[in-house]
A and B are shown apart, each in its own frame.
Chain A
Amino acid sequence: DAKTTQPTSMDCAEGRAANLPCNHSTISGNEYVYWYRQIHSQGPQYIIHGLKNNETNEMASLIITEDRKSSTLILPHATLRDTAVYYCIVRGASGGSYIPTFGRGTSLIVHP
């Protein structure tokens, strides 16, 4: 799996958009970008994933640069419940078994 780099921590005001960046400069053509988050004492929660097009679901939007070397997870209207550690990982999607490697993630604190 390609390695990812994320800021250690970020903070955001409640109601504002939270933009979490991720660098994955060594990503290869068949590797997807996945985002998970983990609230203290719980298992990681799947948020969104994408290959090269921007993606949106009910939780967040994922913006992937054209060269695919970086991406940004956007929480459009952050709430206090979005306070969590956010992990950006990349993993392949075809052939064999690709084990995701989790880094330290970004600790997002949403404040009132």
Chain B
Amino acid sequence: KAGVTQTPRYLIKTRGQQVTLSCSPISGHRSVSWYQQTPGQGLQFLFEYFSETQRNKGNFPGRFSGRQFSNSRSEMNVSTLELGDSALYLCASSSNPGGQPSGNTIYFGEGSWLTVV
């Protein structure tokens, strides 16, 4: 069974541009969440989607947005890029956000490395 797939793996953008990152969850998983990881702030939650609806949102500016499609695939977009947006962006999927008695394991993709110059 394939894991969480993220594309592109690496990309370089210029300040002021916008970027779209893509995530394909594990087959059968309907919840997708996004995280930003930087050396200074560590792993920070961006937002979570389930059945095409945003369920939770972290403390990030409106330049960061996302969406989920009917096949559970998700995209996140960052507009008006700033140097500080350089980070590893991680996507994770789980069967559902609510969880079951045995727990609700989240599985991560390899991430997309974004460099803003």
Query: Which residues does A use to contact B, with CB under 8 Å?
Result: 32, 34, 36, 41-46, 49, 51, 87, 91-104
Contacts and interface: CB of A to CB of B under 8 A. Distances in A.
A94 B90 contact: no
Contact of A99 (B4, B48, B107, B108): B48
A43 B97 CA distance: 20
A34 B105 contact: yes
B19 interface: no
A93 B90 contact: no
Contacts of A36: 108
Contact of B50 (A34, A51, A93, A97): A97
26 contacts: A34-B106, A36-B108, A41-B88, A41-B113, A43-B90, A43-B92, A43-B109, A43-B111, A44-B108, A46-B107, A93-B99, A94-B100, A96-B97, A97-B48, A97-B50, A97-B55, A98-B99, A99-B33, A99-B56, A99-B58, A100-B106, A102-B35, A102-B42, A102-B43, A103-B42, A104-B42
A111 to B, nearest CB: 24
A49 B90 CA distance: 21
A42 B100 contact: no
Contacts of B55: 97
Given A42-B110, A43-B110, A95 B105 contact: no
A42 B33 CA distance: 17
B111 A46 contact: no
A98 B109 CA distance: 19
A41 B56 CA distance: 26
A44 B90 contact: yes
Interface in B61-84: none
A62 B16 CA distance: 46
Given A99-B33, A99-B56, A46 B105 contact: yes
Contacts of B104: 91, 93, 98
Residue of A49, A51, A97, A101 contacting most chain B CB atoms (<10 Å): A97
